[in-house]
Amino acid sequence: MMSHRAFRLFVVALLVATALPCSAQRKAVEAEHAMVVSAHELATQAGVEILKKGGNSIDAAVATGFAMAVTFPFAGNIGGGGFMLIHLADGRDLVIDYRETAPAAATRDMYLDAEDNVLKGPGSSTVGWRASGVPGTVAGFALAHQKYGSGKVKWAELLEPARRLAADGHIVSQETAERFQKEVELLEQFDETKRIYLKNGTLWKPGELWKQPELAATFARLQKHGPEEFYTGETARRIEEAMAKNNGTINRADLKSYKPVERVPLRGTYRGHEIVTVPPPSSGGIALLQMLAMLEPFEIGPLGHNSAAKYHLFVEVMRRAFRDRAERLGDPDFVKLSVQQLLDRSYLTGLMENYDPAKATPNEALAPSVPAPAEPQDTTHYSVIDAAGNAVSNTYTLNGAFGSGVTIPGTGILMNNEMDDFTAKVGVKNLFGLLQGPQNAIEPGKRPLSSMTPTFVRKDGNLLLITGSPGGPTIINTVLQVITNMIDHGMPVMAAVEAPRIHHQWIPDEMTHERYGISPDTAEKLRAMGHTVRERTSYEGANQGDAETIALDPQTGRRLGASDPRKPDAKAIGF
């Protein structure tokens, strides 16, 4: 007969298991022609507005991104950068890399004090006027529109939804109010930021109308004078003057010389599907393709979605890919690397030679010279597809939540703290407790390593999935799990997005899981194999990622929008 204690443990395990979103609690949004999915409903509406005006998915993605700068300021931006993966209806794929670059005044040791210690607080790589790379979002969006837009919608029209939202205001959601409150310590350090984002210290409340006239004026200048205004006009002047006044590092020459880069996507296969993703300086694409290649020899489906056996295998694969990420990757314009070698199937088979299905591989057996730096997890992702089949998977960021905390006076522009993605000091733990490598050292004009992983999946030549996520290093593993949920477990897209997620990045040597994400007995089985298992805390976000995803029904071609429930303001809208 079961003891009282055993019965209680059984009930707890049952409750946890039944709470897991392994089957969708809601259906994907279906549409015949087009779909936009983003982390904020008003930004999604901006993209749909442009599609209905005759714009294509690239035009809509630009409008969505500008609107996110107004409605989702902890990650949406014009003061940051990112990667746009584009699929054109004629079959071409391309990447626009609009990642931030280190300014000319940047130096390898710029974040070390007189005693050679890594700086903290204002003046460091994370906070204040010296933390920003040269922003790439406006230039990247402009290149996308000019070269791959429909030609039916003008640049000024793409900015209008964002300008209108900033000028007329929008209602503060509960999520937005909570994010302001959570980041008070950072935001109150800078007068302009405190005035705009903290309502001069009284804090915005859910349901209040929030207007941003300075940001609206910036959008109006960009509408009137074109995207170059950000880099050579009045906005550039204000950025330079504010930086000079506050001992910042970015000047007009840095802004004028910034150029986005068009890159060739990486391609791989997984169980008969083609995977199209981003190349360096994002590490995400290589790591994703490596993990899929390491998983392919194993039968994943029969293991069960939430089993200890499956999680053990996934953790071991994640560790090996992140080990390679740490040792080998950086900006390809500055670091010599062989993508072909890293994706070679025989090489990846060799990485799994010491895999034991019953026991965790000792971390020292995987260790290269130094691990990679940690990344803040406040980024955002959105996906778009139009009636013709043009598609965009876009991930962009300020790096940390609200970036450096700095708002350029008179512009409403929050600046990134992307310099923290570089190595502050080789061989010394950074603010996140990790050592950092020389391949990612600071150099003027260099782009820092990223984990952003906008991705397409194709089947039989047809587009099947558009996905990506925020989350720092967890991005890569979030995208991996969305893809394998659909391919290996046969989940519909909404279930694939809702399903619980795990993460391992080699260093620290621990598997994290979402709150209520695995049952206690599964965690104990993993510990018995030698894994350290930890539930994600509310401080870092009990949830992992935000996979705003679109799937295409292979039979009907209908667009299936899956907004991630981990973001309460997220919305999929189609027509």
Residues involved in catalysis: 379
Asked if 62 and 51 count as a contact pair (C-beta separation under 8 A), the reply is: no
Pairing of strands 549-552, 571-574: unpaired
Task: State the Cα–Cα distance between residues 15 and 557, nearest whole angstrom.
Answer: 38
Token pair, residue 195, equals 């005035």
What are the φ and ψ backbone dihedral angles of 328, each rounded to 5 degrees? -120, -20
Query: Residue 562: what are its φ and ψ, rounded to 5°?
Result: -115, 100
Which H or E run contains 269? strand 266-270
Residue with tokens 């406040």: 378
- Residue 88 Cα distances to 84, 142, 462, 559, angstroms: 13, 17, 12, 16
- Where is 36: in which H helix or E strand? strand 35-38
Tokens at residue 132, please?
């920003």
Q: Does residue 103 have a cis bond before it (omega within 30 degrees)?
A: no
Asked if 429 contacts 116 with a C-beta cutoff of 8 angstroms, the reply is no
Q: Is 126 helix (H, G, I), strand (E, B) or coil?
A: coil
Nearest to 404 by CA among 413, 396, 395: 413
Q: Which amino acid is present at 383? A: S
Q: What's the CA gap between 210 and 197, in Å, rounded?
A: 9
Cα–Cα distance for residue pair 234/216, rounded to 1 Å: 14
* Phi, psi (rounded to 5 degrees) for 392: -135, 135
- Residues 510, 482: contact at Cβ < 8 Å? no
For 260, 518, 521, the CA distances from 303, given in Å and listed in that order, are 43, 15, 16
If DSSP codes are grouped into helix, strand and coil, which group holds residue 48? helix
Cβ(117)–Cβ(480) below 8 Å: no
Tokens of 382: 């959105």
